[in-house]
A and B are shown apart, each in its own frame.
Chain A
């Protein structure tokens, strides 16, 4: 890649501090020992996404996928590290440039109902932002909204309705139309089809693929459904407890995962063409992000763990062109 990536994360971390509630403070007054807890939801993640690429982000619940997505979309500020848009640190941009960059990155959520204002009509949900940001004039908004709705496969004659008057799949399309209306280059999709039925999931996935084709969009596609990610993504990033453990071209990763966690995870995916399989699960629970295991976070569940793994966190190393993995086994 010669040009700067469309989006890059440089050593980004996001920490959440759980403050003491009133009761706990009182306990402390009486000699208690309640301390604030810090969650390293995203821990020193670096990542480059090229223009037109679809990157799938996977991992178990609580590993930091949504948090990373929100940092990318500017919903959360990073606690440390930099987010670069077309090679420039978003934090260093001034007023207009910054607004431009943040409009170009749009996020689509899991639950379309809670992300759509129930008291707004569809035409306002879709039309408001482009009008406010001066992308279309007031006179053109109506036409523009019609085009956006058609674009996502909704009948424009529905535009006076409210969100609750639509099905789940239709609501997700409204959310997509709203994001498209500000002419983004980059979509962060966080479990955007998880709440939909299989047949409706296929409709929305097809829509994402069409939009990529027609508008040249770039995606960060967060999903716990590895089948969906395998289908859609060019590259897959696997997270475990806040850290990236492997990143690889999708075809290579699914054919031959390197990291022991990646192997275990892919092994678990039920596939429609494997029948009466014997499930052979990874042992153990997902550890608490409040007290992640020392060294390699995966060591308590890893079948290959060595003494060193308990002490030292493995660094991400290149194991093949365009492919990195963080495991001590890769050091010959």
Chain B
């Protein structure tokens, strides 16, 4: 892909300084995002996906702090920006969709009031023009009879509709990048498919770039161009969706794919990853996956680097699976 890069994240570190110790929630995350591209960010709960998203939005609150790293949006450095600067950007050039749409919506305000304010906060347009833009945004995410819907309150919508309104609000100022944090996880598959359908069209039609955070590999397979797999605050594998899902390098990715029921034949035991994710407060020396990894050996007491094993494909592992022993049928 030689599309223009809109977002470039380098060695991002966001740590939480708690009484119990320092939680390195995001610890050296790097990736880039091109125009119109969808990057799937997957991992178990607690692996640092949401904190990564919050860091990109300048939304990390104490005891959390962006410790180091660079976030370049269209060439402009965001790391270290004062709150004032973030407020100018947020919602205009980069926007976030949350798992719970009520993080975006104000329950006591009508939808039109909320949308018109969101537009006028960033663009000097008339109320009438803002209203028209709000109407268009609702129509774009597939909300029927947007004129009537504008006059409604959030509680008058179903969960799926509320999420669409939240997406419409994120789109209002035509941001370059949207960070979507598990926006369909709580929704039914039929409603999820409706939203994925709209999102797919938007990225293709408008060049919007998107980070889609999820724990659902199947959604990533259907939606994303590239995928980054997080484990204990670090990206352990990254690459084009097809390559990663068909022939993962990292033992964790390998195990995750094996855990998905449809990858296994009916009624057979699923290939399970033993144990559970380590506490961020007491990470082991060396590779954080070692305690659960069937390939671990003495070498793994040293933290592996994220290295490029094939063009565009990165993995952080001393003993990666090579292409011939693929996920399907290959022994873990």
CA distance A281 to B216 in the complex (A): 18
Question: Which B residues lie at the A interface, using CB under 8 A?
Answer: 44-45, 158-161, 188-194, 196-197, 200, 215-219, 221-223, 225, 241-242, 245, 255-264, 266-267, 269-274, 276-277
CA distance A316 to B296 in the complex (A): 55
Assess whether A279 is in contact with B190, with CB atoms less than 8 Å apart.
no
* Residues of the A chain whose Cβ atoms lie less than 8 Å from the Cβ of B215: 197-198
The 5 closest A-B pairs by CB, nearest first: A231-B261, A202-B259, A279-B197, A270-B218, A202-B270
CA distance A227 to B259 in the complex (A): 11
* Residues of the A chain whose Cβ atoms lie less than 8 Å from the Cβ of B197: 278-281
Assess whether A206 is in contact with B194, with CB atoms less than 8 Å apart.
no
Assess whether A198 is in contact with B190, with CB atoms less than 8 Å apart.
no
Assess whether B221 is in contact with A231, with CB atoms less than 8 Å apart.
no
Contact among A199, A225, A231, A272 with B266 in the assembled complex (CB-CB below 8 Å): A231
| A-B interface pairs (CB < 8 A), number | 143
CB<8 Å pairs between A and B, sample of 24: A197-B215, A198-B256, A198-B260, A199-B256, A199-B272, A202-B259, A225-B261, A227-B260, A230-B262, A231-B261, A270-B189, A270-B193, A270-B221, A273-B245, A275-B222, A275-B241, A275-B242, A278-B200, A281-B193, A281-B196, A281-B197, A285-B191, A286-B188, A286-B191
* Residues of the B chain whose Cβ atoms lie less than 8 Å from the Cβ of A304: none
Closest to A210 in B: B269
Assess whether B259 is in contact with A274, with CB atoms less than 8 Å apart.
no
Assess whether B266 is in contact with A202, with CB atoms less than 8 Å apart.
no
With contacts A198-B217, A274-B222, A279-B222 taken as known, whether A265 is within 8 angstroms of B259 at the C-beta atoms is no
Per-position contact with B for A272-308: 1 when CB-CB < 8 Å, else 0? 1111111111100110000000000000000000000
CA distance A269 to B196 in the complex (A): 12
Minimum distance in angstroms from B316 CB to a CB of chain A: 18
Minimum distance in angstroms from A240 CB to a CB of chain B: 11
CA distance A275 to B242 in the complex (A): 7
Contact among A206, A225, A265, A285 with B158 in the assembled complex (CB-CB below 8 Å): A285
Assess whether B44 is in contact with A199, with CB atoms less than 8 Å apart.
yes
With contacts A281-B197, A286-B158 taken as known, whether A272 is within 8 angstroms of B245 at the C-beta atoms is yes
Minimum distance in angstroms from B275 CB to a CB of chain A: 9
CA distance A269 to B218 in the complex (A): 9
CA distance A269 to B192 in the complex (A): 9
Per-position contact with B for A178-215: 1 when CB-CB < 8 Å, else 0? 00000000000000000001111111011001000000
Assess whether B261 is in contact with A230, with CB atoms less than 8 Å apart.
yes
Minimum distance in angstroms from A251 CB to a CB of chain B: 7
Contact among A167, A201, A232, A264 with B259 in the assembled complex (CB-CB below 8 Å): A201
Minimum distance in angstroms from B221 CB to a CB of chain A: 5
Closest to B257 in A: A272
* Residues of the A chain whose Cβ atoms lie less than 8 Å from the Cβ of B217: 198, 272
Which residues of A, 206-252, contact B by the 8 Å Cβ criterion?
206, 209, 224-228, 230-232, 250-251
Closest to A283 in B: B194
* Residues of the B chain whose Cβ atoms lie less than 8 Å from the Cβ of A278: 197, 200
Minimum distance in angstroms from B153 CB to a CB of chain A: 17
With contacts A275-B221, A279-B197 taken as known, whether A227 is within 8 angstroms of B272 at the C-beta atoms is no
CA distance A174 to B241 in the complex (A): 37
CA distance A278 to B255 in the complex (A): 27
* Residues of the A chain whose Cβ atoms lie less than 8 Å from the Cβ of B241: 275-276
CA distance A256 to B19 in the complex (A): 56
* Residues of the B chain whose Cβ atoms lie less than 8 Å from the Cβ of A275: 221-222, 241-242, 245
* Residues of the A chain whose Cβ atoms lie less than 8 Å from the Cβ of B44: 197-200
Tell yes or no: A61 within 8 A of B by CB.
Answer: yes
* Residues of the A chain whose Cβ atoms lie less than 8 Å from the Cβ of B264: 231
* Residues of the B chain whose Cβ atoms lie less than 8 Å from the Cβ of A226: 189
